[in-house]
A and B are shown apart, each in its own frame.
Chain A
C-alpha cells in the first residue's frame, strides 16, 4: 500500500498521541492508583501501535507493543505502578519521539530499539510469570469483555432486580472436537440460567469455530456464581471455568477507537489543563498550514484592494458608493479576523510539554521544583507557536539550572521548598506576553561582570559606565554562560543570545528583571500573528515607511531647543533619561527630508528591550494594519528592512526593522 499520502496525517496524530502519553504518564506518576489515567495511556499506546503498524513503521509498532504489554499488566493489577516502570515508560516515549523524528527524516531504520524493548520486557515477562507465554498474555488481553453504554444501563437496571453480572471464562480441552458446536451448546445451556449479554469472541464467531480454546461469556443471572461455574464444569469437553462477579460500574465500555471505564462521573470532565488527557470537544478538520497561508495571502490582497477602493470612493464623493465600501470594509475585517483565528493555536500546545521537561530536570539536578502554568489557553499564530518552543525550553532550563537553588541552600536561606517556576501567558493588545518567573537566586551581578570580563565581552571601562539593567543584559550577549559548572542542562554558552535572536526573528522582544536572592523574571512579548502587523506609517521627503507598532515605545514631539549634544551626537530627555536621536533620513539615505528645518520634531521612540532610541521623521501619517510581503529571494535580507507592504493606493512602503539600527 502506498502510504506516503497519509504520512502527514500520521505524523500529526503521532505527535498528538506522544504528547498525550507524556501528559498522562506524568499524571500517573503523581497518581499511580488512577485507572482512568492508565486506561488513557493504554489507549494512546494502542492506537499508536495500530497506526504505526498500518504505515509499516515496524520499529515504532514494536516499541509501542512492548509498552502495551507492560500497560496491560498494570491494568490487570498484575503489576503496580512504581518509579522504575514509569521511568522505563518515559524512556520508551523518548525513543518513540526519536523514531518519529527519524521517520520524517527517512532514517528510522538506523535507530536502535532493542535496549528499550528489553527494558520493558523485564517487567512484562518477570511479572507475567514463567508459565504464561507472551502469546497467552496477549490473548488474555484480547479477551476482555466490553459493553455498549446501553447494555451497561440494562445491567444496572437488572442489578436492581437482583440480577448479578458475571464473567465466565471457559477453557475447552485442547483435544476437543467440534469446538464451535460445543460452544453453541454451552451458550444454549446457560441461557436457561440467565441472560447472555455479550461473549468474546462474538456468538457468531464461536459458532463458526473462530476461536482458540477459550472464550468469555458476560451473563446476567440471579443464580450464584458458584452454581454457574460448577454447572459448566460438569459439561463435556470443558477443561476449566473461571468466574468473576462484577459491579456495573466496573464494566468496560466499548467505544470506537478504544475502551474506557464506565465511571459514573464521566459526564463531568476533569478540570486542570496540565493533567487532563486531551478530549475532543467539537469536530475538527485538519488543514495543511500552507493552505491557510494562501488564504491569508488572499485576504491580504483583499485588504489592500479594499483600502484602495476606500480611497477612490472618498475621492468620488458618492454617498451610496461610500456606504457600500464601508460595508465591504466591515466584511473584509471580519473575514480577516476569522482567517487569523483559524491559524491560532493555544499555547498549551507548547506549555504541555514543560511538566515533563521540569520533571526530568529536577531528577537530573536533584533540585525541588514545582512548575505552575497559567494562561495555557492563550492563543498564538501557528507559525509563532512552532518557533517559540526552543527559546522557552532554554529559559526554563536556565531558570532551573541557574535560578532555583539546591534544596539545602534554599532551606538555609529560609526559602520555601519546592522552588517555584511560573509560566504565564496572556494577551495584551496586539501582543501575547509570556512570562517565566522563578523564585530562585536571581542574577548575580558580580558574577555576570566577572564572566563578561573573563570572556572579553566588555572592558573594565565599559562596566563602569553601565547601569544595573545593562549589566544584567550582558547575559544576552553571544558566548556568555554564568553557570560555575557546565551542565548538560543549559548547554555550553549557546544560551541566551540564541534565545534573544530567535525571539527577535519572530518580531518579539525579551526583557529580563531580577532581584538578587528573590528571583528572576523573563518577559517575552510576541506579535499575535506574523502575516499582518500593525504599523505606524511615517513620511520622510517623498517616501513613506512603515514602522511596526511592536517596536514603538511612544511617539513624542521634541522642540528644536530641547535637543542636546553628547559627544557631538543629538540626544534628548525622555522619561527622565537621555536617549540618542537619529535622523531617519541619514540612516535610510532619503534626500529632501525636511525635518532639519522644523521647529517641532516628530520623534518615534523605538524600544529594543532595554535601550531606547528616538528616530526623527518628517511626519507621522497614520496607524495602519499592513500585510507583510517579502522583498523576495533576489534582494534577500537587507539590514534594517523587515519587508515591504502595498498601501491602499498601490504604492509600496518598506517596513523598517529599526532594532538592528539601535
Chain B
C-alpha cells in the first residue's frame, strides 16, 4: 500500500529556487517567489523593528521590508557581496524581501526526494524548515517561509524560556 503511494508520488515534481547563504544551499518553493532583485540601493533602517529586519527598500514605489536570513538563523557570515540578491516572496498578504548571498538556479525536483528535516540542519533549527531534499550529492534545505518570516519571534521566545 505504502509502496504504491510512493511510486505514484515519484511522478509529482515541484520547482524550487536555490540560493546560497554562505556556502550552504537553501531552497524556496517557486510559487511563493514574486521576483528577484539586485540590491542596487541602500536599505533604510527602521528603528524599533525586529532585529532580523534589516530595513526597507523602495521597489518601484512600494515599500518592502528586508529580512536578513543570516541574522534570523543566527549564522555568522561575511558581508554582502556582488552576487547578493533580494528574493521578494509573498507571505500571507505581505511582500517581504529575503537577503541572500547568491541565487544559484531553479530546480525541478521530485516530491519524493523531500524528507522531513532533522532537528538541526547546517546550523538552522528544524522549526524554520519545510524539509530537506537529497539530490545525488547535494543536500538542499527547504524553508518554511511562514515560520521563517513570521514577525512574531515564537522561536526566539521558546528558546529564551529554555535558557
Knowing A650-B58, A652-B57, the reply to whether A636 touches B151 (Cβ < 8 A) is: yes
Tell me whether A640 and B48 are in contact (CB under 8 A).
Answer: yes
Tell me whether B48 and A652 are in contact (CB under 8 A).
Answer: no
Chain A residue numbers with a CB within 8 Å of B58 are 646, 650-652
Contact digits for B69-110, partner A, Cβ 8 Å, 1 yes 0 no:
000000000000000000000011111100000000000000
A198 within 8 A of B: no
Chain B residue numbers with a CB within 8 Å of A621 are none
Question: Shortest distance in angstroms between B100's beta carbon and chain A's nearest beta carbon?
Answer: 17
Closest to B43 in A: A652
Chain A residue numbers with a CB within 8 Å of B42 are 651
A638 within 8 A of B: yes
Question: Shortest distance in angstroms between A633's beta carbon and chain B's nearest beta carbon?
Answer: 4
Tell me whether B56 and A644 are in contact (CB under 8 A).
Answer: yes
A629 within 8 A of B: yes
Tell me whether A635 and B44 are in contact (CB under 8 A).
Answer: no
Chain A residue numbers with a CB within 8 Å of B44 are 543, 644, 651-654
A151 within 8 A of B: no
Chain B residue numbers with a CB within 8 Å of A301 are 61
Chain B residue numbers with a CB within 8 Å of A641 are 46-48
Chain B residue numbers with a CB within 8 Å of A304 are 61
Tell me whether B56 and A633 are in contact (CB under 8 A).
Answer: no
Question: Shortest distance in angstroms between A589's beta carbon and chain B's nearest beta carbon?
Answer: 5
B140 within 8 A of A: no
Q: How large is the interface on A (under 10, 10 to 19, 20 to 34, 35 or more residues)?
A: 20 to 34
Tell me whether A634 and B57 are in contact (CB under 8 A).
Answer: no
**A634, A639, A651, A654: the one within 8 Å of B94 (CB):** A634
Q: What's the Cα separation between A653 and B61 when bound, in Å?
A: 13
Tell me whether A633 and B46 are in contact (CB under 8 A).
Answer: no
A317 within 8 A of B: no
Tell me whether B93 and A631 are in contact (CB under 8 A).
Answer: no
Q: What's the Cα separation between A391 and B96 when bound, in Å?
A: 36
Knowing A588-B47, A632-B95, A634-B95, the reply to whether A650 touches B41 (Cβ < 8 A) is: yes
Tell me whether A635 and B149 are in contact (CB under 8 A).
Answer: no
Please provide the chain B residues from 17 to 60 with a CB less than 8 Å away from any CB of chain A in the complex.
Answer: 41-42, 44-49, 53, 56-58
A473 within 8 A of B: no
B131 within 8 A of A: no
Closest to A300 in B: B61
Tell me whether A635 and B61 are in contact (CB under 8 A).
Answer: no
Chain A residue numbers with a CB within 8 Å of B63 are 629-632, 644, 646, 652
Closest to B50 in A: A635
Closest to A542 in B: B42
Question: Shortest distance in angstroms between A303's beta carbon and chain B's nearest beta carbon?
Answer: 11
Tell me whether A638 and B46 are in contact (CB under 8 A).
Answer: yes
Chain A residue numbers with a CB within 8 Å of B93 are 633
Knowing A644-B63, A652-B57, the reply to whether A634 touches B96 (Cβ < 8 A) is: yes
Chain A residue numbers with a CB within 8 Å of B95 are 632, 634
Contact digits for B126-159, partner A, Cβ 8 Å, 1 yes 0 no:
0000000000000000000000010100000000
**A587, A634, A650, A652: the one within 8 Å of B149 (CB):** A634
Please provide the chain A residues from 608 to 662 with a CB less than 8 Å away from any CB of chain B in the complex.
Answer: 629-636, 638-641, 644, 646, 650-654
Chain B residue numbers with a CB within 8 Å of A589 are 47-48
Knowing A652-B57, A654-B44, the reply to whether A632 touches B65 (Cβ < 8 A) is: yes
Q: What's the Cα separation between A211 and B95 when bound, in Å?
A: 67
B64 within 8 A of A: yes
Tell me whether B47 and A635 are in contact (CB under 8 A).
Answer: no
Q: What's the Cα separation between A633 and B65 when bound, in Å?
A: 10
Given contacts A633-B93, A652-B63, 6 further A-B contacts (CB under 8 A): A543-B44, A632-B95, A638-B47, A644-B44, A652-B56, A654-B47
Q: Which 4 pairs show the lowest CB-CB distances between chains A and B?
A: A634-B94, A652-B44, A633-B94, A588-B47
Q: Which residues of B contact A (CB under 8 A)?
A: 41-42, 44-49, 53, 56-58, 61-65, 91-96, 149, 151
Q: Could you list 10 A-B pairs, sorted by A, with CB under 8 Å?
A: A629-B62, A631-B46, A633-B92, A634-B151, A635-B53, A635-B151, A638-B46, A640-B47, A646-B61, A652-B56
